[in-house]
Structures are given as C-alpha cells and as structure tokens.
Amino acid sequence: MDIVTTVVQTTLVRAGGGIDHAAQNMRDSLAGVGEAPKLRKENEKLVQQLAAAQIYLDSQAALESQISALKALQSLPDFGRTKVGAQIIGYSPFDNRITLSVGEDKGIKPSMPVANGQGLLAQISSVGPTTSTATLITSPSLRVAALLQGSNKAVGLVRGETSKRLVMEIVEDVEIHVGDRVVTSGFTPFYPRGINIGDVVEVRDDVETGSKRAYIVPKAKLAQDIDVVVLK
C-alpha cells in the first residue's frame, strides 16, 4: 500500500476506537441514570439506619449512666440519718437552685443536706407541702463547714466560687496538698460528718490575712441523673 492509503486506514482505525469508547461511556452513563432513583433510595435508607443506630447508642449510653448513678446512690452511706429519695424536677442556674419532688409531706426541713451518689450537692433552703428548693454548694451564698482530710487535717468553710469550683478558707498553718479530700466536718447539727465534697486542685497563701485557700473541684455534679437523697 502507498503512504496515503496507510495514513487513511490508521486514522480511521483510531477514530473507530474513539467512537467505540465514547459509545461505551454513553451506555454506562445511561445505565447510571436509570439506576439513580434506586441508588438514591438505598442511600436514604442507609442514612436512616445510621441515624437510628446512633440514637440507640446514645440512649444506651444514657441508660447505662443512669443505672451507674442509681447504684452509686444506693451505696451512699446514710451517715446516721434517714435517706429520703427525691428527684430533681427543676433547675435555676442563675440562682444556683434546684427544685426537689419532696417537701413537708416527707418531713423535709430547711438546712438539710442533699446528696447524690458522688457526694454533697446542695442544702435545702425552703420547703413547701410536696416540693422543696435547695441551694447548690457551688453557690457563693452558701457556707459549709468542712474538714480537710490529708496528711494534715484542718477545718474551714467551703463556699462556691464558680459553677465548677469551690474555695475553702483555712486559718490553721497546715500543709495542704493537691489531691487532698474535703468532706463535711459534722460541726453543725444538720450536716453529718464525712459527706464527700471534693478534691483539692490548687492551694494559695493569702499574705494579707495569713490564711490559706484551697480550691476544690466538687464531686457531686448536675448531670443526666436526677435522683438524689435528702439526709434528715
């Protein structure tokens, strides 16, 4: 074959291959368009299944947390008092107060301590026929007589500084360590001794007053668990 014929045949073969490839792509595209509604439905179904699975896992985690809180509450010592079970039915973060489902009908009185499975949570401030309100220990207006349990024991008053931190004023010249536990001292008629308050996370010396300040992270926190006890 002459050179002209060879060039023409080569060009036609290449063009034919390109056309075949384009045709195959077109067929694949048309097949994809036809399958699109089915794929979309399968996609939506998978998304719904994933959402349902996540809801189930979240619910299971919340339930396990609630069960753990109830177990901790049941194992809480009575400290020589009667434990009255109650539920938190209201929360006012601006006033640092909670509302409980028990009142005069259960013999609840002002100044009684409120605890959950971790420790001291609040103190009863006012009582109604069937409900009561309690001030959280994180409130700056509440003072709780406390005992520092460490290598050196000391007493002082604990008050709220923020919603997540307490401060204890100690006038005794004792050495305080981070990690020391703080509990109720039992020096007041309403508070038995030994209710867990929290752990020391920072210590500062007040040069002006000659006292020490122990900053504490409270053990008892408001979480998903709403069950508490009033110690009367």
Give the pLDDT means over successive 10-residue stretches in the chain (232 positions). 50 50 58 67 77 70 61 81 94 93 96 94 96 96 91 87 91 87 91 94 82 91 83 93
Per-residue confidence (pLDDT) for residue 183, from 0 to 100:
96
Per-residue confidence (pLDDT) for residue 225, from 0 to 100:
67
64 and 143 in a single domain? The answer is no
100 and 193 in a single domain? The answer is yes
61 and 97 in a single domain? The answer is no
Per-residue confidence (pLDDT) for residue 42, from 0 to 100:
74
Per-residue confidence (pLDDT) for residue 12, from 0 to 100:
43
Per-residue confidence (pLDDT) for residue 24, from 0 to 100:
60
Instruction: Pick the closest to residue 141 from 165, 162, 160, 164 (CA basis).
Output: 160
Per-residue confidence (pLDDT) for residue 7, from 0 to 100:
43
114 and 202 in a single domain? The answer is yes
| Residues in Cβ contact with 86 at an 8 Å cutoff, skipping those fewer than 6 apart | 100, 101, 102, 106, 114, 227, 228, 229, 230
User: What is the rounded distance in angstroms from the CA atom of residue 31 to the CA atom of residue 34?
Assistant: 5
90 and 57 in a single domain? The answer is no
Of the candidates 56, 75, 94, which is a domain's last residue?
Answer: 75
Structural domain boundaries enclosing 62: 1-75
Q: What is the pTM of this model?
A: 0.69
